[in-house]
């Protein structure tokens, strides 16, 4: 790739070189790989409740990363990603009712959610800021209302995923876990790839100042479209996987705006506009949910207050506290100027 070659040439000729990797990023990458290997063996080594909980956690990681890709890099604050979560889940119901293999249905449903995002993108992507935010919400409400009216999909009372009953319970739990892990790796890998390639510099430029980025020749529209469709696929997958994990859905909850509240919380707390932040945020949210969800309304008031606090006082989230102290990025994203002497 020509940009890489150019970038690796010494900037001034002497004393400095530009590189992608550093000791931190090598250790960081190895750490990520090690965690992945451990995660791959969860269904073999642990009891059912751990497998199911880890599946939920991975779904949260997907949701947080997708929302971060939209808002953190594309400047697109969506309040309506539940459109794709719900669409993905109901697409699985629709497909399995027509005797498509359930796990294949999940993959198709995720891709179909991406197509849905592509279809509504001409309508939404020309909007900005708050107008974009509420327009995405209206789209989610509209799709939710249409699905609510479909008696064949269970209407307002909800519907179960019976097709998964063909598998023994233990197998089903493990398969669902592994396909969730696969989706997590593929989707986060896609974000990483977008950030590593030439698009990464463009995305970070849009994140920092969209107008300035456009003025130096960054083509913002196609990049936003890529992010929007990717987030559609990711949220669709998350919805389909949630259904496979819980086996029952209701339109009011799967199309509920609480998903947006959770995504905003995870990304704000973890770190808006960083790759690692949303994963950290998903971890914090997962713990908070397990510890405090019994408190009901108080728990949600707490989530809201914490989100406001982070938005106002630490908009780059917890990861900025850790990441800024590291000698370099944990994953080889972007380039670093280094002295040859060190």
Partner 1 sequence: MTWVNAVLQGVFLGGLYALFACGLSLLFGVMRIINLAHGDIAVLGAFLIWQISTSFGISPFLALIPTLVVMLVLGYVLQKTMLTRALRGGPLIPLLATFGLSIVIQNGLLQVFSADVRSLGGQAGPIAHASWTITDQLSVPVLGVVVLATAVAVLGGLQLVLRRTGVGREMRATAQDADTAGLVGVPSSSVYARATAIAVATATLAGMFLALRSTFSAASGPTQLIFAFEAVVIGGLGSLWGTLGGGIVLGVAQTVGAQFDPQWSILAGHLVFLLILATPRGRSLDLGGVRA
Provide the 3-class DSSP secondary structure of residue 150: coil
- Minimum separation from the CB atom of position 253 to partner 1 (A): 13
Residue 274 CA neighbour count, 13 Å, CB half: 26
Under the binding rule (CB under 8 A), the answer on residue 123 touching partner 1 is yes
- Only one of the segments 21-29, 46-54, 105-113, 290-298 lies at the binding site for partner 1 (rule: CB under 8 A); that segment is 290-298
Residue showing tokens 């249905």:
105
x/- letters, 69..88, toward partner 1 (CB under 8 A): --x---x-x-x---------
Q: How many residues interact with partner 1 (rule CB under 8 A)? A: 41
**Which runs of consecutive H residues, i.e. helices, occur in the chain?**
2-8, 23-40, 42-45, 48-68, 74, 82-97, 102-124, 129-148, 169-196, 198-208, 210-215, 220-246, 251-254, 258-270, 277-292, 297-313, 317-323
Q: Are 184 and 190 in contact (CB under 8 A)?
A: no
- Contact code string over 25-54 relative to partner 1, x by CB under 8 A: ------------------------------
Q: Are 147 and 251 in contact (CB under 8 A)?
A: yes
Span 143-172, contacts to partner 1 by CB under 8 A: 145-146, 148-149
Q: Among 10, 15, 48, 129, which residue interacts with partner 1 (rule: CB under 8 A)?
A: 129
| 241 contributes a contact to partner 1 by CB under 8 A | no
Based on the shown chain and the rule CB under 8 A, indicate whether residue 284 belongs to the binding site for partner 1.
no
127 binds partner 1 (CB under 8 A): yes
For the CA atoms of 75, 324, 25, 177, the dihedral, rounded to the nearest 10 degrees, stands at -60
Cβ-based neighbour number of residue 149 at 10 Å: 10
Of residues 39 and 282, the one with the C-beta less far from partner 1: 282
Q: Which residues bind partner 1 (CB under 8 A)?
A: 71, 75, 77, 79, 123, 126-127, 129-131, 133-135, 137-139, 141-142, 145-146, 148-149, 257, 260-261, 264, 268, 272, 296-298, 300-301, 303-305, 307-308, 311-312, 315
């Amino acid at each position: 790739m020509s940009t890489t070659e150019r970038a690796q040439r010494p900037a001034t000729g002497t004393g400095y070189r530009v590189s992608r990797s550093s000791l931190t990023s090598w250790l960081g990458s190895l750490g990520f790989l090690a965690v992945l290997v451990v995660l791959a063996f969860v269904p073999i080594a642990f009891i059912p409740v751990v497998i199911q909980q880890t599946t939920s956690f991975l779904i949260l990681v997907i949701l947080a990363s997708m929302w971060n890709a939209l808002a953190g890099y594309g400047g697109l604050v969506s309040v309506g990603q539940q459109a794709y979560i719900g669409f993905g889940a109901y697409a699985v119901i629709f497909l399995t009712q027509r005797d498509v293999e359930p796990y294949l249905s999940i993959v198709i449903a995720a891709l179909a959610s991406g197509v849905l995002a592509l279809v509504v993108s001409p309508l939404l992507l020309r909007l900005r800021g708050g107008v974009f935010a509420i327009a995405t919400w209206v789209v989610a409400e509209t799709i939710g209302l249409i699905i609510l009216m479909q008696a064949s999909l269970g209407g307002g009372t909800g519907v179960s995923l019976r097709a998964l009953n063909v598998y023994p319970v233990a197998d089903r739990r493990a398969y669902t876990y592994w396909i969730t892990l696969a989706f997590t790796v593929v989707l986060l890998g896609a974000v990483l790839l977008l950030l590593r390639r030439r698009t990464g510099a463009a995305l970070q430029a849009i994140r920092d100042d969209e107008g300035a980025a456009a003025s130096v020749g960054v083509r913002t529209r196609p990049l936003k479209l890529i992010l929007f469709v990717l987030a559609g696929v990711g949220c669709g997958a998350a919805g389909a996987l949630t259904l496979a994990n819980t086996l029952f859905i209701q339109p009011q909850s799967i199309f509920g705006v609480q998903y947006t509240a959770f995504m905003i919380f995870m990304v704000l707390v973890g770190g808006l506009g960083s790759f690692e932040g949303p994963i950290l945020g998903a971890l914090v949210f997962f713990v908070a949910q397990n510890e405090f969800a019994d408190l009901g309304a108080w728990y949600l008031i707490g989530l809201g207050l914490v989100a406001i606090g982070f938005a106002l006082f630490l908009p780059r989230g917890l990861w900025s506290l850790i990441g800024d102290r590291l000698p370099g990025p944990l994953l080889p994203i972007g380039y670093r100027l280094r002295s040859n002497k060190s």
